[in-house]
Structure 1
């Protein structure tokens, strides 16, 4: 397929240069957003970590709250097909565990939501959750788990002579406002993240490595058992890291989401100090982890009257509990809003029930669904699609509809002034077609007609009526096979936004490629559809350069997505097919 990537050589060089400072095992790490949260094989050591004053004074007594979550559409114009998997279960689910929070701060916790996508601060697939927002112990004996107000991450197990560190990454775009040392928290980085609507978060990453010699010298300048250990204890790189493991950003830098920041470490008395005896020796001389971990904090501005300009620590999982509760996996219903993204805005291989469950995550930020496709693999429905900012107007989306249901909604929305913008078709377990569609507002004076489940003969008659006789255009078209017979679903419009179109379907890959090359100069592929061994698409007059591919595996689709994004192209349409094993896609301006 023809594609335009003007700066590809430069892109590859830049990626290679950046990769040299990232831990090798993380360059091609498997997707961690959808994995079950991993737990350490051995219980993490007990003791406060963080900065010099980790047990900050409570603003009020800890109190149990009976929190409930209900599922509501963000606006009345956004819906999800009711018979898609997971909906009934989602509406019945109670919260994973009742939170125990500082009573005076509960109004702040209740107001917190995601205003921009926030991602996990690590990519290493063996890293897991060590501690939640509260510790898993009650050392002060008040009957509640001790306050932590952060999340601790570390490797779940460490082999002999394995470096226990892992890469630490920016959770969102932002500006570095602090790169400093504190005797309790060690090396730390704070980044301020500003959402498109102006809402701000701050993320702080503590106990980082910043070069073996530097960190040991800093530790020798402290006091107590930490200083003694730095002076007389082990010099092992497994504990202190290497001189090349340094912080990769500085104050004032702008960072992108997922940018490498530093290596996790144990710097500061709140790092390795909790596994030291009072004489500065290790409590366990055979330790492999050396308590190397990331102490991670998220803050938001206080919303209460009289607290203007103050920052409050919040739980990015929405759990407000200790790490032992089942509140950290995506299938959990947390008592407060989850800030971490359940999947990327442009996604694939995501179970449809997760898209349903977290429907409000991206739509609640003002993003709209540009494209979506659903395909069945085994007993699971998988979705591929893209939520994007900047798509104007109101819209509807419905997934996995029967033909009858699809026609009903077409009639309903048509009467309200909407027409389908994109359609995808898969088959259910009985081989019957299921439709997913996105509707958009029709331009003034435009009429639309939708057809589906038409065989070649009936579609030919429909074509003759709308295109040849009435001079309407095809806005969208897909073909699909049921029981060995080809069927069509299409949308015709009477007043298109441009002049002219081409529709081809049922072509071999070779013929489609030739047609693509023939039309590329003056025509832009706006819709692509693969049906078995055939390919088809709708072309409209060309306005911008674009890229299109089909037959991609999941890995090659991700590679093409990254390349297109680097060239400033956005995903226009995606299709998952062949039991969610292959993908076709178009990128454009």
Structure 2
């Protein structure tokens, strides 16, 4: 099932033309698995934000409602499973100049219906995250009425096989679109991809990859950051008990950043506390599950300015 308004990598690469503080961490040795929650309210130029993880569907809904009532907008959400039960990690911020809507726990058909309905009302997709629950794909997504970059053109697809994603990636790149968001996930034991492309308003070089093992992702990360790229999106996902990664890097200026992947819940909490205490804010969190009950996290923090 494809969502589209106009109409990714182990292989897909678009080299169109960070300063890293630490490289992406290799997956730590397995340790005790715990379900914890993260909560932080900090400010970046007066913009409060909040982050939580390890939430059940009911806890996520309660937290969502609470933050929405306080004027926070959901800016990022990742779904994953714990003993075949859905869990969520999410980010909110209080700067909300545009109308927005968000949904989670949607089947492919439900997501398509929501997509069509919201687009018809003038919303555009800002974020979509696929995740596996009981061998079937579910989706969490965010739409808003903000103007798109460049000429406002955008495109979104979901349910793509690796080859379909590659084809869509190549086609959009050839038409001048930049990959703005990508989510890898498992559906029926096969890798699938959801992505959003936009017409950029700048000329920053960028590159994207998907279908990378942890070691391949680390190698790509090292290569691109050594060339002056910074990670802007990372999606971790498990297929057949193996963790894979899809990511986007670009050469836009950054005051500083940190990226990690393969973190246990405890490891993620430790990294979160460390970098937030040093003035960083979480910009991306991706959660995925190995062996049914081993939650793992990949994340990017950026320096508050």
| Pairwise same-fold verdict (TM > 0.5) | yes
- Alignment check: 8 A CA contact 2:71 2:96 kept: no
- Alignment check: 8 A CA contact 2:76 2:92 kept: yes
The unaligned stretches of length 5 or more in structure 1 are 6-29, 35-116, 120-171, 174-195, 198-343
Q: CA deviation at 1:448?
A: 1.5
Number of residue pairs the alignment of both structures matches: 259
Match of 2:176 in 1: 471
- CA deviations 1:50-71 (Å, max 9, x no partner) are xxxxxxxxxxxxxxxxxxxxxx
- CA deviations 1:382-416 (Å, max 9, x no partner) are 11112223354332211111112222222333334
Change (3 A) 1:408 1:541: farther
- Alignment check: 8 A CA contact 1:410 1:450 kept: no
User: Which of residues 225, 237, 252 is equivalent to 1:531?
Assistant: 237
- Select between 496-505 and 561-570 the one with higher mean Cα deviation: 496-505
Higher RCO (C-alpha 8 Å, min separation 6) = 2
Q: What SS class does the counterpart of residue 4 from structure 1 fall into?
A: coil
Q: CA deviation at 1:583?
A: 0.9
Match of 1:451 in 2: 157
Change (3 A) 1:437 1:550: same
Match of 1:576 in 2: 287
Q: CA deviation at 1:33?
A: 8.4
Change (3 A) 1:526 1:422: farther
Match of 2:21 in 1: 4
- Alignment check: 8 A CA contact 1:348 1:384 kept: yes
Provide TM-score, normalisation by structure 2. Answer: 0.74
Match of 1:500 in 2: 205
Match of 1:162 in 2: none
Q: What SS class does the counterpart of residue 345 from structure 1 fall into?
A: strand
Q: CA deviation at 1:453?
A: 1.1
Inter-partner Cα distance in structure 2 for 1:31 and 1:377: 9
Change (3 A) 1:455 1:32: closer
The unaligned stretches of length 5 or more in structure 2 are 1-18, 23-33
Q: CA deviation at 1:435?
A: 0.8
The structure richer in strand per residue is 2
User: Which of residues 378, 385, 388 is equivalent to 2:83?
Assistant: 378
Q: What SS class does the counterpart of residue 276 from structure 2 fall into?
A: helix
* Residues 1:487 and 2:228 aligned together: no
Provide TM-score, normalisation by structure 1. Answer: 0.40
Q: CA deviation at 1:420?
A: 2.5
Match of 1:461 in 2: 167
Match of 1:559 in 2: 270
Q: What SS class does the counterpart of residue 95 from structure 2 fall into?
A: coil
Match of 2:143 in 1: 439
Inter-partner Cα distance in structure 1 for 2:222 and 2:36: 38
- CA deviations 1:362-387 (Å, max 9, x no partner) are 12221121211121212532111122
Inter-partner Cα distance in structure 2 for 1:380 and 1:458: 29
Inter-partner Cα distance in structure 1 for 2:84 and 2:189: 22
Q: What SS class does the counterpart of residue 581 from structure 1 fall into?
A: strand
Q: What SS class does the counterpart of residue 89 from structure 2 fall into?
A: strand
Could you list the structure 1 runs, at least 4 aligned residues long, displaced by more than 6 angstroms after superposition. Answer: 30-34
Inter-partner Cα distance in structure 1 for 2:133 and 2:56: 15
* Residues 1:586 and 2:297 aligned together: no
Match of 2:71 in 1: 366
Q: CA deviation at 1:354?
A: 1.5
- CA deviations 1:246-285 (Å, max 9, x no partner) are xxxxxxxxxxxxxxxxxxxxxxxxxxxxxxxxxxxxxxxx
Q: CA deviation at 1:31?
A: 9.0
Inter-partner Cα distance in structure 2 for 1:393 and 1:474: 22
Please tell me the root mean square deviation across aligned C-alpha atoms, in Å: 3.0
Change (3 A) 1:385 1:580: farther
Q: Mapping of 1:76-475 within 5 angstroms?
A: 345-390=50-95, 392-429=97-134, 431-440=135-144, 441-443=146-148, 445-468=151-174, 470-475=175-180
Change (3 A) 1:381 1:485: closer
Inter-partner Cα distance in structure 1 for 2:165 and 2:278: 38
- Alignment check: 8 A CA contact 2:179 2:198 kept: yes
- Alignment check: 8 A CA contact 1:401 1:435 kept: yes
Change (3 A) 1:467 1:366: same
Change (3 A) 1:500 1:406: farther
Match of 1:210 in 2: none
